[in-house]
Amino acid sequence: MTERVDLRNRINVMLFHFDQRLGPRLLFNVAEIQDPRITASLTRLMDFNFLQEMKAIVNAMANVVYSSMFFSIPNPMARGGVEQFMISFVIFDPTITEYLTISSLEEEMSKTISKLMMLSEMFIIITYSNPILEDFPEIETCLNVLRDNAINIFQEIFYGQFEGAKDATSQILGKIGYEAGKQVLQQVHEGEFENLRSYLDAIVESPIISRWGNINILHFDPGEKVATISLDSSIWTESLGVIATKTCAFVEGMLEAVFSKILDEHIICDEMRCASEYSYVKDCIFQIAPGGSDREITSHREDQTIREMAIEDREKTMEHIRDDIGEQFYYEFDPMIRLIQLFNKAPFISDHFIQETEEQVKFLVVCNYWRYPNDIICNSCEKWIKDSSKVPINLLKSKHRICEITYETEESEKTS
Ligand SMILES: [Zn+2]
């Protein structure tokens, strides 16, 4: 167990302001460690001040991960009528491998921002060239509370009870869920339905099951004994909120009982993604398979379904870009921003973060299609990203769930 005092050395909270005359600048850095490279990198990010407000953006450099959020406070004296700020978490910890869970801090950041927006001190600090945090006690309290809460969250997630296999509570919940699933099967009888699908529909619509959230069967293939199920408004995620861990073990157990009966074989149900893991994920996704989720799904029919889903998702992405940004504006953006926007708009990309060096920008992208064999959709993804963003990227699909997307920066083209 890592000591709390260690984490204090590894988590910074930084506040930036976009000065109309001077550009982006750092106001405060609540930190044990100061690193000018990080300040420079974050300042650059703030330069793209048209990025979405109140939505965290995660990026990384070497062993440092950072998550930032933009916000504006109305000020009639300012150009454009608003003062623009950015708050950033910086985490120095190579042992935090599941860095994407940093998104769970999004909620903490939003809370702090709503407090900061009420403070008159915010208008005073921006008039100082080198403000000192102690002179602004209200802001100091806000930033310190944010940092303390982040330290507590990380303490629990990374150094607490969630290490390794499923924790005891999830195991027990899964068992209770399994028993609940068996109860339903005693009340809904197979003989009354003309096929397995209508039997399955009746089960998931029964009040015992549907009270745990809205269940949708995305895919069901009784021949292959596989299924994909989504659950929105899960009671577990709604009551527990975003806690950077999966919380629907009960539903997992329940679905396991239901599908084992329907498919007449002991199947395994895995919650692949949970709305409690990331604040912007709305649905929990469950995978049903005889050998668990590691089993490769190769039937031709399923390939076809996945391909069609993906093509539709890609079309939706471009529609969002046209509607929200406009095609002409989109192609005027810097390549990095074009890619960020593409990943933000793509419904199948659940997270992404950026690692940049002078020569190269690398995105690590979490794609919901990562589970399927390469030849279904991933082979055409490089081309799709190149064509739609007009950025000459290279795509490398890794064995785990993250794809690497890189492109050479202009600086490296000039020198080569
Ligand atoms: Zn869940």
- CA–centroid distance, residue 285 to ligand 1 (Å): 7
**Residue 80 sits in the same domain as residue 146:** yes
**Residue 365 sits in the same domain as residue 218:** no
Closest CA to 162 of 282, 276, 256: 276
Total count of domains within the chain: 3
- CA–centroid distance, residue 248 to ligand 1 (Å): 4
**Residue 287 sits in the same domain as residue 375:** no
Q: Specify which residues 403 forms β-bridges with.
A: 365, 397
Of residues 80 and 337, the one with the higher pLDDT is 337
**Residue 261 sits in the same domain as residue 367:** no
Question: Of 135, 159, 183, which one is at a domain's C-terminal end?
Answer: 159
Q: What is the pLDDT of residue 372?
A: 64
Residue 223 tokens read as: 């021949």
**Residue 33 sits in the same domain as residue 65:** yes
**Residue 21 sits in the same domain as residue 131:** yes
Checking if the pLDDT of 231 tops 90, the result is yes
Instruction: Tell me, rounded to whole angstroms, the distance of Cα 290 from its chain centroid.
Output: 28
**Residue 108 sits in the same domain as residue 234:** no
**Residue 333 sits in the same domain as residue 406:** yes
Rg (CA), the chain: 24
Give percent above pLDDT 70 in the chain. Answer: 80
Q: What is the mean pLDDT of residues 189-212?
A: 87
- CA–centroid distance, residue 28 to ligand 1 (Å): 37
**How sure is the predictor about 100, in pLDDT bands with cuts at 50, 70 and 90?**
very low
Cβ atoms of 198 and 188 within 8 Å: the answer is no
Cβ atoms of 339 and 363 within 8 Å: the answer is yes
Checking if the pLDDT of 371 tops 80, the result is no
Instruction: Tell me, rounded to whole angstroms, the distance of Cα 86 from its chain centroid.
Output: 19
Q: Is residue 291 part of a domain?
A: yes
Q: Is residue 300 part of a domain?
A: no
Q: What gap in Å lies between CA 232 and CA 282, rounded to an integer?
A: 6
Among 275-284, 352-361, 367-376, the least confident range: 367-376
**Residue 34 sits in the same domain as residue 129:** yes
**Residue 8 sits in the same domain as residue 140:** yes
The CATH number of residue 113's host domain is: 3.30.450
**Residue 320 sits in the same domain as residue 349:** yes
Q: What is the pLDDT of residue 166?
A: 54
List, as one string, the DSSP characters of 162-210.
TSSS--HHHHHHHHHHHHHHHHHHHHS-GGGSSSHHHHHHHHHHSHHHH
Q: Is residue 30 part of a domain?
A: yes
**Average per-residue pLDDT in the chain?**
79
Q: What is the pLDDT of residues 54-83, one digit of tens each?
A: 777 766 665 677 788 889 999 888 877 889
Closest CA to 273 of 235, 224, 231: 231
Q: What is the mean pLDDT of residues 324-334?
A: 89
- CA–centroid distance, residue 237 to ligand 1 (Å): 6
**Residue 270 sits in the same domain as residue 333:** no
Range of the domain at 14: 4-159
- CA–centroid distance, residue 274 to ligand 1 (Å): 4
Checking if the pLDDT of 142 tops 90, the result is yes
Checking if the pLDDT of 279 tops 70, the result is no
The CATH number of residue 206's host domain is: 3.30.1380.20
For residues 148, 149, 154 and 155, what is the CA-based torsion angle, rounded to 10 degrees?
A: 70
Checking if the pLDDT of 267 tops 50, the result is yes
- CA–centroid distance, residue 276 to ligand 1 (Å): 6
The CATH number of residue 332's host domain is: 3.30.980
Of residues 305 and 1, the one with the higher pLDDT is 305
Q: What gap in Å lies between CA 317 and CA 314, rounded to an integer?
A: 5
Q: Is residue 301 part of a domain?
A: no
- CA–centroid distance, residue 351 to ligand 1 (Å): 17
**How sure is the predictor about 145, in pLDDT bands with cuts at 50, 70 and 90?**
very high
Question: Of 159, 192, 207, which one is at a domain's C-terminal end?
Answer: 159
Of residues 200 and 162, the one with the higher pLDDT is 200
Q: What is the pLDDT of residue 137?
A: 95
Question: Of 138, 159, 180, which one is at a domain's C-terminal end?
Answer: 159
Q: Is residue 150 part of a domain?
A: yes
Q: What is the pLDDT of residue 406?
A: 92
Q: Is residue 49 part of a domain?
A: yes
- CA–centroid distance, residue 8 to ligand 1 (Å): 30
Residue 227 tokens read as: 């299924």
Q: What is the pLDDT of residue 18?
A: 86
